[in-house]
Structure formats: structure tokens, C-alpha cells
Chains A and B, each alone.
Chain A
Amino acid sequence: DQQVKQNSPSLSVQEGRISILNCDYTNSMFDYFLWYKKYPAEGPTFLISISSIKDKNEDGRFTVFLNKSAKHLSLHIVPSQPGDSAVYFCAAEASGGSNYKLTFGKGTLLTVNP
């Protein structure tokens, strides 16, 4: 039962263009969402997050959009750079209390071509 779904296993874009990574969730209790970036043989690195009280959060080249009614979020990277090539994981959490328990999607492999 996948509560967080990343339906595109891979995405390829040209350097300088926009990368859009999508994520859907089914659990309406999720109220905090995160994106992690992972290089091979390394652990995930936090990229950006968004609370359910917002619909957009921006940090430099990275912007996350949240559409609560559609239970959908997306990560935009612009302009894309070859160093952005990695697996991107969407994660969600039902903060509720003090627990910190992330539910991850399966990831999308982004390849940025020079």
C-alpha cells in the first residue's frame, strides 16, 4: 500500500531547462512534505520542505508546490544543472505529535544532460 507515489521512475532534461518532479499521496493525515536528493552510495540529503498550511516554498533554484485538494506536490528545479543528477525522493509525515516518521516514495532518477 503505497501512500506516497512517484510515478515517474526517471526523468531526463537538458542543462538550463526546468526539471519538474511529481509526487502524489493518499493519506490525508500527511501535513508535512519533504524532498530528499540521493547520490549513489550516499545517504539522502534534505533539499526542501513544505507545510500543509502553504502551497509554495522556494529556496534558490528549488521550488516545491503543494496542491492539497489533489494530494499532489511537485519539485521544480530551474535552471537544471548536471550536478542535479541524482535520485529524488518525496517524503511525507503526519506530524500530529512529536513523532518523526517519514513515508518515502520510490524515487525519481533525474538526469541532467550537458
Chain B
Amino acid sequence: NAGVMQNPRHLVRRRGQEARLRCSPVKGHSHVYWYRQLPEEGLKFMVYLQKENIIDESGMPKERFSAEFPKEGPSILRIQQVVRGDSAAYFCASSPTGTADTEAFFGQGTRLTVV
């Protein structure tokens, strides 16, 4: 009974490269959320997706960042032309519904380091 699976666990990119972070939600969950945790900070909401739809991307930077959750396959968070400030832990969570009274399960995160 697998939980939320994120890969890779650790990712090192040079400035200007692209980073792709993958998230496979709990089986049967159709709601996916991405959060970012900067050093010494709490998690900050980035984007909320349902299958093939972006519901709320208010926490995601307008440039260089994009997210998708296709009909088949994992959700992808893509960061183009990475900069040092993108270094952070990126967590994905999933839930069966989008309401607050159902628990969201978090993955172990992807630690992105930009050198």
C-alpha cells in the first residue's frame, strides 16, 4: 500500500538547467498539492492540481515554474533555468478529495540543490 512517492529524493542542478520533480500520489487520489520549504522556513503552498487541471497556482512563481498532473502518470513540477534561490525541499501531497476534512498525505520530498 504505497504512499506518495517522490523522485528523485535528491537533485543537483547547475544554474540555468532544468529541474523536473515527479510525484506519484496515493493510489486512487486525484488531488495533488506541491509545497516548497526553504531553509529555516515552513512549507509554502505552490499549486493544487486535479487530474489534467490546475485548480490553484497562486503560490507558484509566474516565471520558470510549471506543474502538470496528466491523465496517466505522475504529477510533474518543472523549474526552468534554475537559480540558487530555487534550492529547497519540494514536497508533494495527495488526498482523495479537495476538502479540508480529509487528510493529505505527504511524500518524502525532493531536495533540490542548485550549484
Chain A interfacial positions (CB closer than 8 Å to B): 4, 6, 32, 36, 41-46, 49, 51, 89, 91, 93, 95, 98-107
> Which of A4, A45, A89, A99 is the one whose CB lies under 8 Å from B55?
A99
Within 8 A of A (CB), among B2-27: 4, 6
Chain B interfacial positions (CB closer than 8 Å to A): 4, 6, 31, 33, 35, 40-45, 48, 55-56, 58-59, 91, 93, 95, 97-101, 103-109
Smallest distance from the beta carbon of A2 to chain B beta carbons, Å?
Answer: 8
Smallest distance from the beta carbon of B38 to chain A beta carbons, Å?
Answer: 10
> Which of A42, A43, A98 is the one whose CB lies under 8 Å from B99?
A98
B42 touches A106 (CB 8 A): yes
Smallest distance from the beta carbon of A1 to chain B beta carbons, Å?
Answer: 12
Given A43-B91, A44-B91, A95-B99, verify A100-B44 contact (CB < 8 Å). Answer: no
Q: Which residue of B lies closest to A32 (CB)?
A: B100
Chain B residues closer than 8 Å to A4, beta-carbon distance: 42
Q: Which residue of A lies closest to B37 (CB)?
A: A104
Given A43-B106, A46-B103, A93-B100, verify A104-B43 contact (CB < 8 Å). Answer: yes
Which of B40, B99, B108 has most A Cβ within 10 Å?
Answer: B99
Given A95-B100, A100-B95, verify A105-B108 contact (CB < 8 Å). Answer: no
> Which of A43, A89, A101, A103 is the one whose CB lies under 8 Å from B109?
A43
